[in-house]
Amino acid sequence: MRAALALEDGTVVHGELFGSPHEAEGEVVFNTSHTGFQEALTDPSYRGQILIMTFPMQGNYGILPEVGESDRVQVEGFVVRYLHDGPTHPRAEITLDEFLQDHGVPGISGVDTRMLTRKIRTEGAMRGVLVPYEQGDRPSDEELLERVREVPHISEMDLVPQVSTRKKYRFSDGKPEIVVIDCGVKRSILRELAKRGAGVTVVPYNTQAQEIMNADPDGVVISNGPGDPKRVRETVETVRELIGQVPLMGICLGNQILGLAEGGNTFKLKFGHRGANQPVKDLDKGRVYITSQNHGFALDSDSLRDTPLRIRWVNVNDGTVEGVVHTDAPAFSVQFHPEAGPGPWDTKWVFDEFLAMCREH
């Protein structure tokens, strides 16, 4: 089968369908990582989005059982230049094509991903549709663009409830005791906490502060997740009540939620930060780290001036806020992903810093 990808600016490209013969719609974004397609596909922060990989070949090492960031494919659709349906990795269980088929997600290959990426960098992330079709039944451009106009904007979608756990569960035993507020948490975050001996309990995004405190945690992590942080009002209110009661660490969406909880504001980035090569400067240490990131919103630095949040990390490329430290309470947050998964391990020490804070308090 064939497939078409249409963007809201009128761009339409055609290629070969792989994965599932279903239609997909969402915000079209790109990721600049050279490896890690499985981690990207299963990252809950991609819910509501059609993902383009800028590295041309995808699928060459297949799907490995131990590297998924969740139990399912989270992207709405997948766009690649070349599909290698080997796989070549000795531990691979199935191919990329089979993986998407199993999860009902369509992919398109054989398209000019460089052109699409340059267009999104210039014009910003756009709504789009991915439509499979039989060779002799090609949809018209106007028909495709009409479908794009019906796609909601990412800020209009309530995505966190779709990816958060529905009930509390225990991930690991140990000390200190950490509660993770699941806004779409990546398994790599839970693994890094457990690897350091922490006992980890995961709770839904809308768990109230009192219920969390009743568990007597030594620390609380606000996780990553998809969409506009302003739509996660329940989590913002919970974090507002937790500040000062227990050590806090936010990651990605959790960084934005901590900022909103203390009166800051957020805004939508033009095309977001998605990839494993984002340079971040730690203003306290005077060092630059290469980080893994996946987000389309950011904290407004001006809005933090009259809050008890001090900017500690900034993005070297565009100067946006990459993390804050609370000046009156044991709390901090980072916009980047210290667990990587995939990506460089430069900032895994952030977990050590947080657990040391939990033990101290």
DSSP structure string for 317-328? TT--EEEEEESS
Q: Do 136 and 262 reside in the same domain of the chain?
A: no
Exposure of 161 in the CB half-sphere (CA atoms within 13 A): 7
Q: Do 134 and 172 reside in the same domain of the chain?
A: no
Q: Which two tokens stand for residue 222?
A: 């606000």
The pLDDT, as a whole number, for residue 224 is 98
The span from the CA of 302 to the CA of 305, in Å, is 6
* Dihedral sign, Cα of residue 81, residue 84, residue 88, residue 89: positive
Q: Do 140 and 168 reside in the same domain of the chain?
A: no
Q: Concatenated DSSP letters for 266-295?
A: EEEEEEEEEEEEEEEEETTTTEEEEEEEEE
Q: Do 133 and 96 reside in the same domain of the chain?
A: yes
The pLDDT, as a whole number, for residue 228 is 98
Please state the φ and ψ torsions of residue 182, each to the nearest 5 degrees: -90, 100
Q: pLDDT band for 88, please (50, 70, 90 cuts).
A: confident
Boundary of a domain, candidates 102, 120, 152? 152
Q: pLDDT band for 86, please (50, 70, 90 cuts).
A: confident
The span from the CA of 249 to the CA of 333, in Å, is 5
- pLDDT higher than threshold 90 for residue 166: yes
Average pLDDT over residues 206-226: 98
Q: Concatenated DSSP letters for 208-242?
A: -HHHHHHT--SEEEE---SS-GGG-HHHHHHHHHH
Residue type, 317: N
Q: Do 134 and 232 reside in the same domain of the chain?
A: no
Average pLDDT over residues 232-245: 98
The span from the CA of 17 to the CA of 134, in Å, is 10
Q: Do 184 and 333 reside in the same domain of the chain?
A: yes
The span from the CA of 20 to the CA of 106, in Å, is 4
- pLDDT higher than threshold 90 for residue 135: no
Q: Do 94 and 217 reside in the same domain of the chain?
A: no
Task: Tell me the pLDDT tens digit for each residue of 17-26.
Answer: 999 999 999 9
- pLDDT higher than threshold 90 for residue 302: yes
- Catalytic amino acids? 252, 337, 339
Q: Do 142 and 165 reside in the same domain of the chain?
A: no
Q: Which domain holds residue 341?
A: 160-360
The pLDDT, as a whole number, for residue 124 is 97
The span from the CA of 48 to the CA of 151, in Å, is 10
Q: Do 147 and 164 reside in the same domain of the chain?
A: no
Task: Tell me the pLDDT tens digit for each residue of 36-67.
Answer: 999 999 999 999 999 999 999 999 999 998 89
Q: Which two tokens stand for residue 137?
A: 């039944």
Q: What is the CATH classification number for the domain harbouring 287? A: 3.40.50.880
Q: What is the CATH classification number for the domain harbouring 29? A: 3.50.30.20
Write down the mean pLDDT value for the chain: 97
The pLDDT, as a whole number, for residue 254 is 98
The pLDDT, as a whole number, for residue 1 is 95
Q: Do 148 and 175 reside in the same domain of the chain?
A: no
Average pLDDT over residues 265-271: 98
Q: Are 295 and 250 in contact (CB under 8 A)?
A: no
Quote the number of domains for the chain.
Answer: 2
Q: Are 74 and 40 in contact (CB under 8 A)?
A: no
Boundary of a domain, candidates 131, 152, 173? 152
Boundary of a domain, candidates 100, 125, 152? 152
* Dihedral sign, Cα of residue 13, residue 17, residue 20, residue 21: positive
The pLDDT, as a whole number, for residue 136 is 87
Q: Do 245 and 320 reside in the same domain of the chain?
A: yes
Q: Do 325 and 231 reside in the same domain of the chain?
A: yes
